[in-house]
């Protein structure tokens, strides 16, 4: 395993990284998510999902109100707020887990933190909205900086890299510097190499083989392979809901290479797999 990275505080939880893999459970309050769009279309459905993920062993939850599947279009901020805030408020009132909100809009991030969110997960690494870094700095929450080539609408149009890991690392160095200049503490930064976001199958495999390299600068690494198209390409399972076993294979491979947090739809399968993999792969 690569060198240990610092601990991470999310809400009222303090996670000692390196001893075990943290699991982030996904809650999509969108009608058009590639995997489970519409399943959490009301706050009550989202709460039911949150309770299930908590019971399955999630360490934190990630609520998203805008699909970022390939070729998707953005939604207006008022629509994203309409989807996210009621679900977040209800979950916050009845669930004790830390909650991340998956958004690239500063206004959504600010309202989400005011409603009880503990972390912001930004697929644009705070490039999509120039006010995002200010919101994160002022609210004091951790932020996930994700790498994406282009936008969801065009990211899968012939993505090309000379050295995918090297180029993502350079991107992270620039975004970390921008975050630090904005007043965001280093201890509140998490890196996500963006599996499936502007990458081919070969790029995704190279990222997973070398994901420990993203930890060299001392930041936690989050990966989100859950039900992505590359798992279908490798397993032959074309329906997203049938890709959970393949997802677990990707998760364990990433843990073996050094990731700290995994973002997944099926927390139960990930927790079972990691209950065996963590003691074997980590120096605990």
- No. of H helices and E strands in the chain? 9, 10
Q: Are strands 8-10 and 13-15 parallel, antiparallel or unpaired?
A: antiparallel
CA angle 123, 202, 154 (to 5 degrees): 40
Structure-derived torsion over alpha carbons of residues 187, 23, 98, 115, reported in degrees to the nearest 10 = 100
Per the structure block, which two tokens stand in for 9? 């505080």
Burial of residue 162, with CB atoms counted within 10 A of its CB: 0-12 exposed, 13-18 middle, 19 or more buried? exposed
Whole-angstrom distance, CA of residue 275 vs CA of residue 72: 35
Q: Which residues are catalytic?
A: 228, 263
Q: How far apart are the first and last CA of the chain?
A: 11
Whole-angstrom distance, CA of residue 98 vs CA of residue 230: 29
């Amino acid at each position: 395993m690569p060198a240990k990275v610092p601990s991470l505080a999310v809400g009222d939880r303090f996670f000692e990284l390196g001893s075990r893999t943290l699991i982030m459970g996904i809650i999509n309050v969108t009608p058009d998510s590639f995997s489970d769009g519409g399943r959490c279309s009301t706050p009550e459905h989202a709460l039911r999902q949150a309770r299930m993920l908590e019971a399955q062993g999630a360490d934190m939850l990630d609520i998203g109100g805008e699909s970022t599947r390939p070729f998707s279009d953005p939604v207006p901020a008022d629509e994203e707020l309409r989807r996210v805030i009621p679900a977040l408020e209800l979950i916050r009132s009845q669930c004790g887990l830390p909650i991340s909100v998956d958004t690239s809009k500063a206004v959504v991030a600010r309202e989400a933190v005011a409603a009880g969110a503990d972390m912001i997960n930004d697929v644009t690494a705070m490039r999509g909205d120039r006010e995002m870094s200010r919101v994160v700095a002022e609210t004091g929450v951790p932020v996930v900086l994700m790498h994406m080539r282009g936008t969801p609408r065009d990211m899968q149009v012939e993505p090309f890299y000379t050295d995918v890991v090297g180029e993502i690392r350079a991107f992270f160095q620039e975004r970390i510097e921008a975050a630090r200049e904005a007043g965001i503490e280093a201890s509140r930064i998490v890196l996500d190499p963006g599996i499936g976001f502007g990458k081919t199958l070969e790029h995704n495999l190279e990222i997973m083989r070398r994901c420990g390299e993203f930890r060299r600068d001392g930041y936690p690494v989050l990966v989100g392979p859950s039900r992505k198209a590359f798992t279908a390409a490798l397993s032959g399972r074309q329906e997203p809901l049938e890709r959970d076993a393949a997802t677990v294979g990707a998760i364990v491979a990433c843990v073996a290479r050094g990731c700290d947090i995994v973002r997944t739809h099926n927390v139960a399968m990930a927790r079972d797999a990691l209950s065996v993999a963590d003691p074997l792969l980590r120096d605990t």
